[in-house]
Structure 1
Amino acid sequence: MTATTTRGLDSHGYIAREGSLELIQREFAPVVAAAQDRLPTAFGPRLSSAYLYGSVPRGTARPGRSDLDLLIALTEEPTDDDRATTDALSATLNREFAQIDGVGVILLSRARVLSDLERHDLGWFVACLCTPLLGEDLAEHLPRYRPDPLLARETNGDLALILPRWRERVTRGDDPRVLDRMMSRHLVRTGFTLVMPRWQGWTSDLTLMAEVFGTYYPERADAMREAARAAYEPVGAPHTLRTYTEDLGPWLAAEYEAVHGVKAPRP
């Protein structure tokens, strides 16, 4: 693994790649091995690449509480059958391995990852936050990344578009703990990338993200710390969800647009 600074950069100031198969804790090795074994059977020669991301390849997963996160890139655009295959595989792994609490999968095409539009979003995600598991490493076709305003804009500059969907899900009565976990994580990451170019570094530690944000926005520091706690221990209290959708979220979206602009529109 490449040596990194305390702020997640290499010696040239680029964001160092997180995670490694060597960091996977003993408890999670069997489920990773099962995924590695079953993905080629599920997708055959259409499987271009498969990656791990999140706490498992970072070595910070908690048995029985962490999920297994996978990114799968196919040689062509995924079909409905591919999505059904992914859902079935996820359900099987989750059922067979008690050490994980769910399986999250991002399924897309190789071409999308390498597209100009996604270069500073999905491309950066694969190159910096994903650990190669199977197939071609698409990072070899992508640039190096610095914690700059362009990366900030293209990763999280769309919060204003996401907020209406969150409100719809709250109104619909979706599981409040699921919403709390999802919204809080998104807000903490967005708050961090808002200040990332000033801090000049990268971390995936949500607690540290909140602390970094708070040094630049002390008036919002407590709210972001609460969101970071909820990201790990969600409760789903109605007043908390309202804070996300009607206070912290709208403020953060407006501030983000003022500082970094709006993310390039996607089809």
Structure 2
Amino acid sequence: MSLSTLEPYESYQQEYQSAVEDIKKCLVSGVGNNLHSLYLYGSVARRTARPHHSDLNLIIVTQDGVGDNWSTVFNTIKWRFQKEFPFITEVNLKKALVNEVASLDSLFSWGFMLKHLGVCIHGEDLSECFGEYVPSWEIAKFWNMDVEEWLSLYRNRIAKAENKEELVRAQTTIAKKLLRASYTLVMHKDKQWFDDPIQCGENFLRYYPDKNVDIERLGILLSGRLIAKRSVVGILDSYGTWLVKQYKKTEFKIG
């Protein structure tokens, strides 16, 4: 079964519609003729964003490498959005060259992202260069085989967090990663794709019901509640270690 795609023409949530239009104008003006296309991804693209919880995520595809003014463009956009759209937690901009995106080497990276995780909001839609995708271990391991590195990185960030905001931000980010990685572990069996972390956890439990407590704990981390550092690290060390081992076992079996 082919994976579903996001609806490109459906209106975004009321709070985010003007923000999407505003950032598109800023980037079209700031990048100029070098701009090939723009793509929105994440919860805003899925129309599930929550004010004061969700980021605004975009991919900027250019004809050639961006010049020295890129930092100025990015910093200006970030400053404007902090002032005009304070309910957006962060603006994330990814850059890519058109010849890198429209390439066979990008089948499971940019190709999958543009086809199934994003929507084109300006320019020529490069997702049309790619055919339909089906749930597979190749997709799962490309997107989440790095879970061991994420665990190490965020375990360190959580340990070094100096305030509530840093700690909550780190724990919610790693919770998202672990919930999504949990589902992609079984995606080749389940024959679906979910990007929403809660859906990922729920569908993963159909195959590993004994991990219910771990998934509940990740849901608590994802909620934004402040949890003691030692408790967060305990979850990463126990469930995270188990998940890494399962990925290695599955890779050994399937390859």
TM-score (norm 1): 0.84
Aligned with residue 103 of structure 1, among 91, 112, 123: 91
Unaligned runs of 5+ in 2: none
1:61-140 counterparts in 2 under 5 A? 61-78=49-66, 81-140=69-128
Q: Which amino acid aligns with 2:198?
A: T
Aligned partner letter, 2:158 = V
Give the counterpart letter for 2:216 in structure 1: R
1:143 to 131, 140, 151: 131
Change (3 A) 1:82 1:255: same
The answer to whether the 8 Å contact 2:55/2:88 transfers is: yes
RMSD of aligned residue pairs (Cα, Å): 2.4
| Cα distance change, pair 248–19 in 1 and its aligned pair in 2 (3 A) | farther
CA contact (8 A) 1:24 1:57 kept: yes
User: Cα distance 1:24–1:120, how it changes in 2: closer, same or farther (>3 A)?
Assistant: same
Stretches (4+) displaced over 4 A:
78-81
SS at 1:69 equivalent? strand
Alignment-derived partner of residue 208 in structure 1: 199
Quote the Cα distance in structure 2 between the aligned partners of 1:94 and 1:137.
29
Q: Identity over aligned residues, as a percent?
A: 26
Give the corresponding residue for 2:5.
17
Amino acid at match of 2:176: R
SS in 1 for 2:205: helix
By how many angstroms is 1:205 displaced?
A: 2.4
Q: Deviations over 1:5-33 (max 9, x none)?
A: xxxxxxxx211112434241222111111
Q: Residues of 2 paired with 1:58 and 1:131: CA distance?
A: 9
Contact kept in structure 2, 1:64 and 1:99, CA below 8 Å: yes
Equivalent of 1:44, from 32, 47, 60? 32
Any conservation in 2 of the 1:176–1:237 contact (CA below 8 Å)?
no
| Partner-residue secondary structure (3-state), 2:39 | strand
Deviates more, 1:46-55 or 1:107-116: 107-116
Is the CA contact 2:57–2:92 (under 8 Å) kept in the aligned structure 1?
A: yes
Aligned residues: 251
TM-score (norm 2): 0.88
